[in-house]
Amino acid sequence: MKDRTVILTTLNEAWATPNSVIDLFLESFRIGDRTSTFLNHLVIIALDQKAFARCQVIHTHCFSLVSEEADFHEEAYFMTPRYLMMMWKRIDFLRTVLEMGYNFVFTDADIMWFRDPFPQFDLHADFQIACDHFTGGFDDVQNRPNGGFNYVKSNNRSIEFYKFWYSSRETYPGYHDQDVLNFIKVHPFITDIGLKMRFLDTTNFGGLCEPSRDLNQVCTMHANCCLGMDSKLHDLRIMLQDWKHYLSLPPSLKRLSVVSWRVPQKSLNLSCTLIQQKRVLKNKIFIA
C-alpha cells in the first residue's frame, strides 16, 4: 500500500488443495464489504512447493519460503514438533519483513475478511493483535491474544520485540508462539523498548472461541478453537453462508441485528475447551 503496508498469510499443501481453506479465505475478500481491493496487497507465503504452485494458479502475489530443514506440506497438527517449527519459522520470517521496512497485517488463512479492519486499528500502536478472549480493555494484559491476526508497524521497537519473541522460544521450550507471547507480554523488556501493544476487540475481530455477535461491526472471523480440517472447513463454509445471508437483508433488518452466526457447530469441542483452559492456567501461573 502507499504506506508500505502489506497483507501476509502462510500456506502449505494441506490448506492449498482445491475447495480447501485458501479458497474460502480468498472468497471472503471477494464477498466482503469493500475488501476485494485488499487482494492487490495480499502476499501468500508458500511453505512448500505444491502450495507455491497452487498459489500461482489462484493468486497474483506468491512468495516461496520452502524450508530445507523441515517438510511443511502435510497438515501440521496442533502442538506437534512440525507445528511448533512452522509457527516459529513464521515469527522469524515476519521479523525480516519488518527489517525490510514493511508494515504488515498477518492473517491466518482460516480467517474470513468481511470488512476493512484498518479503521479499527490504533494509529499510535506498534503491535496490535486479535484475541481468543477479550476482557474489554485494549491494553489489558489479561487478554488472551491469538497470533493468527496482527497488525505491526515497522520500527525499531517492533523489530526488537520480534527478536525477543523469537529468542524466547528457548526460554520456554515446547511452547508455541502464542503461549510464549502470553508469557512475555508482561516482561519488563516490553516496557524498556517502549513497545505500544494493543489488543483487538472480538466485537470486530471475532472467532469461534469468542464470536463477534454483531454482523454490523465484524471485520474478521477466525476458525480458532478448532481441531481438524473437516471441522474447520465445515464451520468456515457456514460462516460464509451466514455473511451472504446478512448481505441479502434490507438495511432496516441489518440495523436490527436479526442475523447472528450459526457457528461454532463442529469446531468447538471438549479438546478445544481444554486447550483454552490450559492457556488460561499457564497465563495465571506466569502472572502470579
Q: Which domains does the chain have, with CATH numbers?
A: 5-281 (3.90.550.10)
- DSSP element (H, E) containing 8: strand 5-11
C-alpha cell at 91: 515469527
Structure pTM?
0.89
- Return the pLDDT at 60: 97
| 212 pLDDT more than 50 | yes
Would residue 3 be called left, alpha or beta, if left means φ above 0 and alpha means ψ between -120 and 50 degrees?
A: alpha
- pLDDT one-digit tens code per residue, 48-105: 999 999 999 999 999 999 866 655 445 444 456 667 888 889 999 999 999 999 999 9
C-alpha cell at 34: 469493500
72-76, 152-156, 175-179, 236-240, range with the lowest pLDDT? 72-76
| 281 pLDDT more than 50 | no
Cα separation of 209 and 225, whole Å?
A: 5
User: To the nearest 5 percent, what fractions of the chain are helix, strand and coil?
Assistant: 40, 15, 40
- pLDDT one-digit tens code per residue, 92-140: 999 999 999 999 999 999 999 999 999 999 999 999 999 999 999 999 9
- pLDDT one-digit tens code per residue, 218-232: 999 999 998 889 999
Cβ distance 206 to 212 under 8 Å?
yes
- Return the pLDDT at 270: 37
191 exposure class (CB count in 10 Å sphere: 0-12, 13-18, 19+):
exposed
- Return the pLDDT at 87: 84
Average pLDDT over residues 32-55: 97
| 215 pLDDT more than 90 | yes
- Return the pLDDT at 162: 98
**Backbone dihedral angles phi then psi of residue 215, each to the nearest 5 degrees:** -70, -10
Q: What is the DSSP letter of 285?
A: H
Mark out the alpha helices in the chain (DSSP H runs): 13-16, 21-31, 49-58, 81-99, 156-167, 177-184, 188-193, 229-248, 251-255, 270-287
Instruction: Please state, for a pLDDT cut of 90, what percent of the chain lies above it.
Output: 79
Q: Report whether the peptide linkage leading into residue 117 is cis, meaning its omega lies within 30 degrees of zero.
A: no
CA 26, 11, 151, 262 torsion: positive or negative? positive
